[in-house]
Structure 1
Amino acid sequence: MKRLIPFLLLSLSVFSFAQEENETSRNFGTDSTTVAEIVPVDPKFKLDTIDYLTAKNPMRASLYSAILPGMGQLYNKKWWKAPLVWGVLGTGVGFIVHYNNQYKEYRGYYLDKLYGVPLENPTLQQMSLENIANIQDDRKRTRDYAIALTALAYILNIVDASVDAHLFGIKKDPDLSFQPTVIENNYTLDLALGMGVNYKF
């Protein structure tokens, strides 16, 4: 009997503690609004900085720019970039066509001069075969450079569309700013234009 009394007292204390814990979890654990009232959330604290509702698909933007340059920029709503892409690629294609035509023209002059066919242009008629060959090689080299630069611009157009799509949904951080600023030289007191980065803690 003496052993039963401490056992009953211990059981009652455990039961009362369990009941207290159930009441606490019933008041605070199941109701999200009550938890939000108990734990205040700082309005400056952002759990997510990406707006998934307006996010763009990088694969789709890259595909659009690969099929038709500038379409990826339009898909990302960067309207001002599309005319730049068209202008750069159009200029590159223009240079390719121009220097390719000149290369073919001087290639024809070189072959005519090689086989002894008289040229209609008196200036070219007086030039040596080596000089005409040098002009032909120069036009070919310039055409190849234009092809390489135009291909590079085409690849950059795809990369730009993909990067813009990746960064499209990210909101601007008001505490971080990147803007032009005037810098003064401490020795000569001359002013120069530079870029400044400001970060607020």
Structure 2
Amino acid sequence: MPNKYLIASIFAFLFCFSTPAQEKEKKRKKLPKEVVIDSIIEIRDPINPLSPAKAAFYSAILPGLGQAYNKKYWKIPIVYGAIGTGVYFYLTNNKEYNRYRDAYKRRLAGFTDDEFYKDANGNQLLTPRVTTEGLERGQKFFRKNKEIALLVTFGLYALNIIDANVDAHLLQYNVDENLSLAPHYKFNELDASSNLGLTLNFKF
């Protein structure tokens, strides 16, 4: 009789362990065959190491062409406006320089018929509107201005090439939202001072 109770107790004990195991097995069977993770995978264009060189080369051939290659079309009017302004000031100062130089040469030759010996209506004057010394100073002034305008124009032309090159580099630069660098401002209540710095955030 005690053996029957012992055997019954063992079966009851085993049954208690088998029931959760069976339930776990059923739950395992209910799992789907595939687990789909809802995520967006961004496929980036391959990096072209020659792209910056091409953009710079195109801008060197024709200003604004490198910006068009980078698809920054809004920069083309700025490029032409800047370079065109430099060319305009160069031509204007060069024209004035030539006026003063031609008049100065005629004065040295002994003539008194240059444009500065005449009034606005073209009538001959007894004394010139601009003296010979004034013509000499004018030549120096306009020559200096046209040289500065020429240097500025070449500088803007070079800047157009650099801009196209840098833009092409930045277009291929990987900007990840998980990596950010931002300034921060914090007020210290203990000593009533303020702290300004940079915060680097990196998300795994």
Match of residue 106 from structure 1: 100
Amino acid corresponding to residue 100 of structure 1 in structure 2: N
Match of residue 167 from structure 1: 170
- What is the distance in 1 between the residues matched to 2:49 and 2:68? 14
Of 176, 182, 188, which aligns to 2:180?
A: 176
Deviations 1:4-47 (A, max 9, x none): xxxxxxxxxxxxxxxxxxxxxxxxxxxxxxxxxxxxxxx9xx9x
Give the 3 Å change call, closer, same or farther, for CA 67–143 of structure 1 in structure 2.
Answer: same
Match of residue 138 from structure 1: 141
| Residue correspondence of structure 1 range 40-55 to structure 2 within 5 A | 51-52=45-46
| Residue correspondence of structure 1 range 1-201 to structure 2 within 5 A | 51-52=45-46, 57-118=51-112, 119-122=114-117, 125-174=128-177, 175-176=179-180, 199-201=200-202
Number of residue pairs matched? 142
- What is the distance in 1 between the residues matched to 2:198 and 2:65? 32
Amino acid corresponding to residue 58 of structure 2 in structure 1: Y
Amino acid corresponding to residue 93 of structure 1 in structure 2: V
Amino acid corresponding to residue 144 of structure 1 in structure 2: E
List alignment gaps of at least 5 residues for structure 2.
Answer: 1-38, 120-126, 186-196
User: Shift of the alpha carbon at 1:91?
Assistant: 0.7
**Does the aligned pair in 1 maintain the 2:63–2:79 contact within 8 Å?**
yes
Structure having the higher Rg = 2
Report % sequence identity.
37
RMSD: 3.2
- TM-score w.r.t. the length of structure 2 is 0.60
Deviations 1:92-124 (A, max 9, x none): 111111111111111011111211211343478
Q: Secondary structure of the equivalent of 1:200?
A: strand
**Does the aligned pair in 1 maintain the 2:55–2:66 contact within 8 Å?**
yes
User: Shift of the alpha carbon at 1:178?
Assistant: 6.4
**Does the aligned pair in 1 maintain the 2:59–2:161 contact within 8 Å?**
yes
Amino acid corresponding to residue 121 of structure 1 in structure 2: F
Deviations 1:141-182 (A, max 9, x none): 100000001001111111111111122112323242669x99
- What is the distance in 1 between the residues matched to 2:182 and 2:75? 20
Give the 3 Å change call, closer, same or farther, for CA 120–58 of structure 1 in structure 2.
Answer: closer
